Structure 1
Amino acid sequence: MFLIQKLLFLSLLLFLSLLLFLSLLLGAMVYFEQLKESQDAWEVCAEALAKGIYSDDHVKFFCFQVLEHQIKYRHGGLSPAQQQLIRETLMKWLQGQLMNSQPEKPFIRNKAAQVFALTFVMEYLTHWPKFFFDLLSLVGLNPHGVDVYLRTLMAIDAEVVDRDILHSPEEVRRNTLIKDGMREQVIPSLVESWYQILGAYQQSHPEITCQCLEVVGAYVSWIDLNLIANDRFVNLLLSQMSVEDLREEACDCLFEIVNKGMDPTDKTKLVESLCQVLQSAGFFNVDQEEDVDFLAKFSRLVNGMGQSLVLSWTKLAKGGDVKAAAEALRALETKVPLLLQLLVHDDDDISANIVGFCYDYLNVLKQVRYTLMLTLSHQDIMLAVMKKLTYDEEYNFDNEGEDEAMFVEYRKQLKMLLDRLAQVSPDLLLEAVGRVFNNTIQRWQTASFMEVEVAIRLLYMLGEALPASHGAHFSGDTAKTSALQDMMRTLVSSGLSGYQHTLVSSGLSGYQHTMSFLDHRGLRHSSPKVRSRVAYLFSRFVKTLHKHMNSFIEDILSRIQDLLELAPPENGFPALLTSDDQLFIFETAGVLIVHGESPAERKQALMRSLLTPLTDAFRLLLAKLASEREEERQAALADCLSHAVGFASRTSKAFSNKQTVKQCGCTEVYRDCLQTFLPALSCPVQRGSLRSAVRSFLHRMIICLEEEVLPFVPAASEHMLKDCEAKDLQEFIPLISQITAKFKDQVSPFLQQVFMPLVLAIFEVLCRPAEDNDQAAALEKQMLRRSYFTFIQTITSSGMNEVLANQGVENVERVLFTIIQGAVDFPDPIAQKTCFIILSKLVELWGGKDGMAGFPDFIYKHIVPACFLAPLKPSFDLTDAQTVLGPEFIQYLQQEYLPSLQVSPDITQEVCQVLQQPDAKVLKNYMKAFFQRAKL
């Protein structure tokens, strides 16, 4: 008993300690926010940093945060003395670092660098033009000071240069001025400091040297390249390529230098000089380098140099400088052996980093005359791509992870190279693939599955690549077409369809003859992945070749009969195919029936035998769902019912229009399906998924059955408008809009009847209260509002103004006011545009003498003000506006509306004159300027 009490007491203490910690943490956060907002608390933090009062790292970080907030948000309100205090604080803190034996923690140094950078951005152009000179004279070559200096430079790069960070137009202008000022005043001094740092710390502080290399790489994109790309500096960088701790960063730095935009002739010379030194130092001997991390960086550098040479050649060739272009091309050719070494390297990261250069080089081959060297390099690249397509032995086919995903992406890059090879030399590619393919398939029983898979993959890629470059497989060249046909024939007759490895079976599934799709080699394969892939490919196969399959359509249908069964949730047996896979099989069955040569009576019988099991199962499952009480079981039944509707819908993909349905005698079959599925709309449980499925089926039937579907629409609409959520309505409106646009006057009586119930349901959902921070609910309402306005637009655009006009004066007025509200009050440009289109159409329909009574008055009191109020909203796009005006409108603006807005007579006159200009461009530009002035 005592032990239990003791444990309870300890637990209570632990719980109280946790509560105390949380309250302290919360209190600290509140205190921090108060300090940031305080007018003078930052000065306390500044003093603490300058004098080094606190030793606790978190307190020091906290002080820098307070100072950062002050500089970022309140700098403009500080007095000159306070701004001076910030500058002195930073320099005193930095001076303290020079005297410390141990540097601050990295997170403090990073925060300090951010504060230095913010202060620089705020004051360099005005109060602190000697920022860098003050910094450099203070830190000298002190390693602690140099570290902060380099971190500050990177923080300045993030604030001023980094293109990945979005800046306002004001900030862009400011940053441009800062860079211009730095180029004129300090960049040479900064470059000299980098050179000194790189030389001084190469051995003693490699981490500082690496930081400096990163800084050089970041700044080289916008400073004078001659300051860096000179013998003194480049030789220093190249020497660091041989230092183990530095060479990866040196590679990155050289890569940034090579990527610098410059004159193509100068770029060629720069790249060539770099390559000569690298080659002399032995870096081109890739096979002798064991450090794969360095080789990955080096491969990226070579890729940058190669792409730079390609760009130089392209510019020089287009500019007509034949001699310089020839030199660039020769320089390019000499890099191909290195390109090939890196491309075929066992490490895929190294190979992937050079693919961009390889791709661009092949593009050059496409444009120049063949030399022996170019032809040989083309062949070598082809062989390299074929080799690298092969899976390695570590690939985990059963449990694919990140490494496997990366290889799949890498294979996509290789496929791009193969496609480009097909464009450059389809003859050579066909010959090379044929050689590899035939050699492998002839010995497939003894070859590794990786070799077999690559052979099949190459044939597949060849089939995709060649039509893109040579029309329909060499535009009727029978010799080359025959080569492809021979390979296909070899594959089909080789016996490979029985290969047991999933990888090979998946590759083969695209080439199976009809029956092999249906047996253990295809849809009944032991691997779910293979079955899934075959279901899709068999669907494509039948769609393409159905004209040649008439004699065995019913045989195929009987063979896939068991795959067309709806698997009830209580079955307990795993189905051969997933529901997604079954969609393809149902579509395939539909295509076979519809496009066969049987008479209409037989097609109707086959379609009925296909769909009747679905409708029978649907009735039974719907009855079970209505009486089911367990929520998990309800969801499973609803899923199964939705699948049944989806399968029936997918069969209709075989039809193109109503005539086809009639010709096949299938109208009645699909009407019966509709009759069976519609009761699901009134099911009291799992409404969302069932309504969605039936709604999708109705969309399909509108296309396939046309007016035959109309008798079902009123009852369906009545059910779908009961107990609606925002999403239900949002999905229902496109259905009504589709019916409206397609049938117009035929559905006018129905639309007049359903219009206000639908509108009221929408209003009810939009008026439901929601939490202020519930973004999902806000987005749902926004989308529903857009759908509502789109529905009104569909009605007005279809010439069915009587639908709205016959709703009674109060209802019409209510709807009109929602359109005005949508045009003016909601910050949603898409909805605004729709509302103005509606208003424009209504003015056209009802604004004349024979229009709706009272509408002209509504135009002047509400539509005209909306045209002026909406453009004043921040969300309104002033570059997208159209207006149609008449003399009465001009008179109204001049005498009543603009004076009511306190617009002066001069500007009123100016506006009205411009509004009567025939040139729409003049009107558009003036109105844009007018509203921009009005917003100020």
Structure 2
Amino acid sequence: MDDLEKAILISFDESGAVDSALKAQAVGYCQQIKETPSICSICIERLCFSKLVQVQFWCLQCLHEVLRVRYSSMGPEEKSFIRKSVFSLACYESIDDKNLVRVLDGPAFIKNKLAQVMVTLICFEYPMIWPSVFVDFLSNLSKGVVVIDMFCRVLNALDEEVISLDYPRSQEEVAIAGQIKDAMRQQCISQVVRAWYDILLMYRNSDPDLCCSVLDSMRRYVSWIDIGLIANDAFVGLLFELMLVSGFPDQLRGAAAGCIHAVAAKRMDPKAKLTLLQSLQIRKVFGLVAEDNDSELVSSVSSLLTGYSTEVLECSKRLNSEDGKAVSTELLNEVLPSVFYVMQNCEIDETFSIVQFLSGYVGTLKSLAPLTETQSLHVGQILDVIRSQIRFDPAYRNNLDMLDKTGKEEEDRMAEFRKDLFVLLRSVGRVAPDATQLFIRNSLASAVASNGDVNVEEIEAALSLLYAFGESLSDETMKTGNGLLGELIPMLLSTKFPCHNNRLVALIYLETVTRYMKFFQENTQYIPLVLSAFLDERGIHHPNRNVSRRASYLFMRIVKLLKAKLVPYIETILQSLQDTVAQFTTIYAVSKELSGCEDGSHIFEAIGLLIGMEDVPLEKQSEYLTALLTPLCQQVEALLLNAKAQNPEESPAKITNIQQIIMAINALSKGFSERLVTASRPAIGLMFKQVD
């Protein structure tokens, strides 16, 4: 081991056992060697003799950097030496008779770094200086697996480093990529595709990992090569065989699905594209999604089905001919049941893509009236998908109810996850309002009839559907309660779910009642039911403090909207709230989770709005206000009188208590207009001044 190798090993050391000064010295020495004119020869020599992977990596990394920086200043002989040496390494050949080490025998990261060096040379030299690089490589594939694997790594690195538009590229890089693709199309891509086919045929039973590498390369290149090279009976037939034969590993079958997906996603004229999609006979893979629901294969097939469906839908949008639209509709009708099955039964990563596709599909239905029987069936299945996807996992039930750290994370995750699903629900609601309302009615009825303790998540999902649907309704529709709304809202109000003590169920129930509060403006006969929902154990008297405080805020909003219509119920409301009012002003500490906009003071604002109306007689108004203000003021006076006698430890709690009372009085005063307390009923204003 010479000094360079020692320095490389020390510079790569991560154990902490090497002295920092020595490590810095080693790094400096390596940098010094890197700057010598003969560095490329030094690196290639080490690659021929050193078995140390750290040394191999450093040499390849050094070659990569030097080529990028110094290539233009190199002489023809040096370029030729590097070209021949690097290509020999990539083809498992000896650079000279003394070559004792083969880089391709090393680990994957060494081979990937060698592929990166090859790609750097290709960028500089192909096709003008080194036009035969790919043809030369193809002639070496007969050496077997190790060279085929390296060829795939070079193709993949070329895609990642130069061609793929998944990464930002400069204009110069785009130009180089275009030059390489044009030359490959003209010179060798048909031979590359033929090699792919032959390798898959030869190694499908003996080396599935190698076949996966070939399919990965192929998937990347489909987007820009002549699609006819792949989309033919022989190659597509082979890909379907790899995908459908159960004896092959899932990874190989999934890789084949990825290639079919790439073929389906190929950009082309919509008419030709539709013909291509029709020729794929995608129905052959429908049975695969019913295998192991959370397998890698099902995930790949799900991605294929989603991508295929999206492409068919896009063709349908772009084609104006009746024949084109008929074929598109037929293909969609064929694939959609499998898409729905995947969404409802499989653990996949394609949920977002499928929701985006379904949103696009529903969008195309807007111009179709009336819907066909099949389209109506699809609408129902989409609603089923939405309901199944928005359900919480029962495994998190206790976490969500207690709202611990895990529960909070799951609630936040689901809130984000549901956004697109609820957008889809509203789109369906606009396309098929009657069907959507009927679905929600049936979901709610099923939830009502279910065993609440077992189906907490089903009940929460049904209520969430009704809540989200309300966003798509106009104020007029909401007020009149057209369609099934006139049945849905009373059903909601009259229901006491067995699991109403569950935090999530209680919250979405109250939010949903509030969402439809405009309905009660016109349908005042339901006001007693609304009040019961908020004043009993479903709302303000719920055992969970989070729920009761939220109920106080929502009740205040209800009061603001209904105001005068609540005058006949003021006595009932105040009696129901007596314990809540007393409790608010005697709690010595405010929970951090409940502080801020939902601190509980909204119940006083709601009371203020109720008794502050001019519809309430002055005598009654004075009576109500006195009953509220007198005990509050007496509490403050008592606390202040006892301030000197109390223990220092009690001071913070007593101060908090006084702040609570002041907050309550302030909230109460918000319900009284300035005109009422100064002009029409100054006696009321005087009562508030006396408090000050």
- TM-score of the pair, normalised by structure 2: 0.76
In the alignment, which of 592, 595, 599 is matched to residue 579 of structure 1? 595
Count, aligned residues: 626
Give 1:415's aligned residue.
Answer: 422
> Using the alignment, how far apart are the partners of 1:21 and 1:95 within structure 2?
40
Give 1:693's aligned residue.
Answer: none
1:309-330 deviations in Å (ceiling 9; x for gaps): 111111013xxx2222222222
- Residues 76, 503 of structure 1: CA spacing in aligned structure 2 closer, same or farther, 3 A cutoff? same
Q: Secondary structure at the match of 2:312?
A: helix
Give 1:440's aligned residue.
Answer: 447
Answer yes or no: is 1:296 the counterpart of 2:299. yes
Give 1:88's aligned residue.
Answer: 84
Specify the code of the residue in structure 2 equivalent to 1:91: F
Q: Secondary structure at the match of 1:153?
A: helix
1:443 Cα deviation from its structure 2 partner:
5.3
Q: Secondary structure at the match of 2:139?
A: helix
Q: Which has the higher contact order (CA 8 A, sep 6+)?
A: 2
- Residues 555, 112 of structure 1: CA spacing in aligned structure 2 closer, same or farther, 3 A cutoff? farther
- Residues 611, 58 of structure 1: CA spacing in aligned structure 2 closer, same or farther, 3 A cutoff? farther
Answer yes or no: is 1:506 the counterpart of 2:507. yes
Specify the code of the residue in structure 1 equivalent to 2:443: V
Give 2:4's aligned residue.
Answer: none
Give 1:691's aligned residue.
Answer: none
1:63 Cα deviation from its structure 2 partner:
0.8
> Using the alignment, how far apart are the partners of 1:390 and 1:110 within structure 2?
44
Give 2:43's aligned residue.
Answer: 45
> Using the alignment, how far apart are the partners of 1:38 and 1:535 within structure 2?
77
> Using the alignment, how far apart are the partners of 2:478 and 2:462 within structure 1?
25
Give 1:765's aligned residue.
Answer: none
Give 1:365's aligned residue.
Answer: 365
> Using the alignment, how far apart are the partners of 1:672 and 1:174 within structure 2?
83
- Residues 449, 591 of structure 1: CA spacing in aligned structure 2 closer, same or farther, 3 A cutoff? closer
Q: Secondary structure at the match of 1:221?
A: coil
- Residues 592, 506 of structure 1: CA spacing in aligned structure 2 closer, same or farther, 3 A cutoff? same
1:797-850 deviations in Å (ceiling 9; x for gaps): xxxxxxxxxxxxxxxxxxxxxxxxxxxxxxxxxxxxxxxxxxxxxxxxxxxxxx
Specify the code of the residue in structure 2 equivalent to 1:270: L
> Using the alignment, how far apart are the partners of 1:161 and 1:311 within structure 2?
25
Whether the 8 Å CA contact 1:342–1:354 is kept in 2: the answer is no
Give 1:459's aligned residue.
Answer: 466
Q: Secondary structure at the match of 2:169?
A: coil
1:4-32 deviations in Å (ceiling 9; x for gaps): xxxxxxxxxxxxx9563544444443444
Specify the code of the residue in structure 1 equivalent to 2:210: I
1:735-759 deviations in Å (ceiling 9; x for gaps): xxxxxxxxxxxxxxxxxxxxxxxxx
For the aligned residue pairs, the C-alpha RMSD in angstroms reads: 4.8
Whether the 8 Å CA contact 2:286–2:338 is kept in 1: the answer is no
> Using the alignment, how far apart are the partners of 2:342 and 2:372 within structure 1?
23
In structure 1, stretches of 5+ residues that fail to align are: 1-16, 621-627, 629-635, 677-936
> Using the alignment, how far apart are the partners of 1:46 and 1:104 within structure 2?
15
> Using the alignment, how far apart are the partners of 1:447 and 1:367 within structure 2?
42
> Using the alignment, how far apart are the partners of 1:668 and 1:179 within structure 2?
86
Specify the code of the residue in structure 1 equivalent to 2:319: L
> Using the alignment, how far apart are the partners of 1:175 and 1:377 within structure 2?
44
Whether the 8 Å CA contact 2:452–2:499 is kept in 1: the answer is no
Q: Secondary structure at the match of 2:287?
A: coil
- Residues 183, 18 of structure 1: CA spacing in aligned structure 2 closer, same or farther, 3 A cutoff? closer
- Residues 44, 667 of structure 1: CA spacing in aligned structure 2 closer, same or farther, 3 A cutoff? farther
Give 2:252's aligned residue.
Answer: 246
> Using the alignment, how far apart are the partners of 1:54 and 1:366 within structure 2?
68
1:520-569 deviations in Å (ceiling 9; x for gaps): 4335544455356546644544554455456648778866546766987x
Mean Cα deviation higher: 394-403 or 65-74? 394-403
In structure 2, stretches of 5+ residues that fail to align are: 1-14, 95-100, 400-405, 514-528, 642-647
Give runs of aligned pairs for residues 871-910 of structure 1, distance below 5 A: none
> Using the alignment, how far apart are the partners of 2:22 and 2:635 within structure 1?
64
Give 1:261's aligned residue.
Answer: 267
> Using the alignment, how far apart are the partners of 1:330 and 1:435 within structure 2?
30
Q: Name the % identity.
A: 26
Give 2:433's aligned residue.
Answer: 426
Give 2:523's aligned residue.
Answer: none
Specify the code of the residue in structure 2 equivalent to 1:41: I
> Using the alignment, how far apart are the partners of 2:176 and 2:396 within structure 1?
52
Q: Secondary structure at the match of 2:266?
A: coil
Whether the 8 Å CA contact 1:591–1:654 is kept in 2: the answer is no
Whether the 8 Å CA contact 2:242–2:256 is kept in 1: the answer is yes
Answer yes or no: is 1:58 the counterpart of 2:58. no
> Using the alignment, how far apart are the partners of 1:121 and 1:611 within structure 2?
82
> Using the alignment, how far apart are the partners of 2:34 and 2:626 within structure 1?
79
Q: Secondary structure at the match of 1:165?
A: coil
Give 2:27's aligned residue.
Answer: 29
1:37-69 deviations in Å (ceiling 9; x for gaps): 4444343113222xx210011110111111111
Specify the code of the residue in structure 2 equivalent to 1:44: I
- Residues 529, 557 of structure 1: CA spacing in aligned structure 2 closer, same or farther, 3 A cutoff? closer
Whether the 8 Å CA contact 2:90–2:114 is kept in 1: the answer is no
> Using the alignment, how far apart are the partners of 1:308 and 1:605 within structure 2?
71
Whether the 8 Å CA contact 1:492–1:513 is kept in 2: the answer is yes
In the alignment, which of 121, 125, 138 is matched to residue 119 of structure 1? 121
Q: Secondary structure at the match of 1:496?
A: coil
Specify the code of the residue in structure 1 equivalent to 2:264: V
Answer yes or no: is 1:341 the counterpart of 2:341. yes
Q: Secondary structure at the match of 1:127?
A: coil
Q: Secondary structure at the match of 2:49?
A: coil
Mean Cα deviation higher: 200-209 or 597-606? 597-606
Mean Cα deviation higher: 75-84 or 151-160? 75-84
Give 1:216's aligned residue.
Answer: 218
- TM-score of the pair, normalised by structure 1: 0.57
1:144 Cα deviation from its structure 2 partner:
1.0
